[in-house]
Amino acid sequence: MNVLRVGCPMWAHRPWVGRFYPAGTKAGTELGLYATWCNAVEGNTTFYAEPTPATVARWAEQTPDDFRFVFKLPRTITHDKRLREVATEVRSFLDVIEPLGDRIGPIQAQLPGSFGPESLDALLAFLRRLPTSHRWAIELRHRAFFERTPAHTAVDELCLDRSIGRVVLDTRPLYAVDAASHAANEERRTKPRLPVVLDAVGLHPIVRVIGEDSPAGTLAGLRAWTDQVVAWLAEGREPHVFVHQPENLDSPSLARAFHADVATAIGDLAPLPSPAGQSGMF
C-alpha cells in the first residue's frame, strides 16, 4: 500500500497529557503514546545535541518497526561549523543512531538563513560526501537558493544526481493571518517567508507546514497539499508531512486529519495506528 508519513516536531509535549495522552502520563514515556497517533516525527531534539546511546535505546524500545524518525543533524554541523570539516561529527551522529535501523527516515541538514551562495562550495562538497547508506534532505533558507540563480541550479542538479531531497518549508498559513499570540510572533521571527519550490524534493519529500494559532486555519494550510501528496504517492514516492502550530496544541489531530483526507482521495493508503490516548479534536 501507499505510505504517507505524518507527524509533529516533537513527541514529549506536556500540554498533550490529558488531551492526546492519558492523564498522569510520566515524562519520558510519551514517545510510545505519540507513535500511536503519528507514524513519523521530526527529530528536532537532535538539532540541539547528539543523543546518548542510552537515549537511542529507549527510543527504539518505545516505537514499532514501521515508525520513522526524520532527524536533524546537530547544529554543531550546520550552524557552528557551517558544513566545513564535519566528517567526524556526521559519522559520530550516524553511529549513535544506528541501533534504530529502519526507523531512521531521511536525515535533514537544516541550514541557517545566513548560509548563502558565498558558501556554495562548502555546501556542494558536503552533499557529495554524504554517505549513501542513508537518505538525506537539505533545508535551505537563503532566498538565493529559491530563485533561478546559478546557486539554485547547482544545488538542485547535485541533489537530483545524489538522490538528496530539498525540504519544503511552507510558512504560508503562518503569514496568512495576523499573529494572535506571542508564540505566533516568535514563529514569524524564526521561520522565513520563502517560495514553495518542488523541483528537487526527491523520492521521500519532506514538507513542513507552519500553521497559525487557529487549528482550522492550520488544517486549511495542510489541505492545500492534498492534491500534491496524492500525485507524489501515485508516482511511487513516500511523502513526509509535518504540522507545526505556534504552540502545537492540536498538531497530532491535525496530522491525522490530513492523513484521513489523503486516504479518502487515494483509497489504498496504509492506515495510521489507533491512538492510545484521548480523542483529540478531529
Whole-number pLDDT of residue 282: 47
Report the domain count for the chain.
Answer: 1
- The answer to whether the CB of 209 falls within 8 A of the CB of 173 is yes
In the numeric block, the cell 500534491 is attached to: 228
Q: What is the pLDDT of residues 261-270, one digit of tens each?
A: 999 999 899 9
Question: Is there a domain that residue 21 lies in?
Answer: yes
Q: Where are the alpha helices (DSSP H) in the chain?
A: 30-34, 44-48, 53-62, 75, 87-97, 120-129, 150-162, 172-175, 182-190, 215-223, 226-234, 251-266
CATH number, domain at 57?
Answer: 3.20.20.410
> Which residue segment(s) compose the domain that 251 sits in?
5-266
Question: Is there a domain that residue 229 lies in?
Answer: yes
Question: Is there a domain that residue 192 lies in?
Answer: yes
Decide: helix, strand or coil at residue 107: strand
Question: Is there a domain that residue 275 lies in?
Answer: no
Alpha-carbon 259 to chain mean position: 15
Per-residue burial over 244-268, b = 16 or more CB atoms within 10 Å of its CB, e = otherwise: bbbbbbbbbbbbbbbbebbbeebee
Question: Is there a domain that residue 280 lies in?
Answer: no
Q: Per-residue pLDDT for the chain (282 aa), expressed as one digit of tens each?
A: 999 999 999 999 999 999 999 999 999 999 999 999 999 999 889 999 999 999 999 999 999 999 999 999 999 999 999 999 999 999 999 999 999 999 999 999 999 999 999 999 999 999 999 999 999 999 999 999 999 899 999 999 999 999 999 999 999 999 999 999 999 999 999 999 999 999 999 999 999 999 999 999 999 999 999 999 999 999 999 999 999 999 999 999 999 999 999 999 998 999 999 997 555 554
In the numeric block, the cell 495510521 is attached to: 272
Whole-number pLDDT of residue 277: 54
Q: What is the pLDDT of residues 84-127, one digit of tens each?
A: 999 999 999 999 999 999 999 999 999 999 999 999 999 999 99
Identify the DSSP state of 272: P
Bin 18: left if φ > 0, else alpha if -120 < ψ < 50, else beta: left
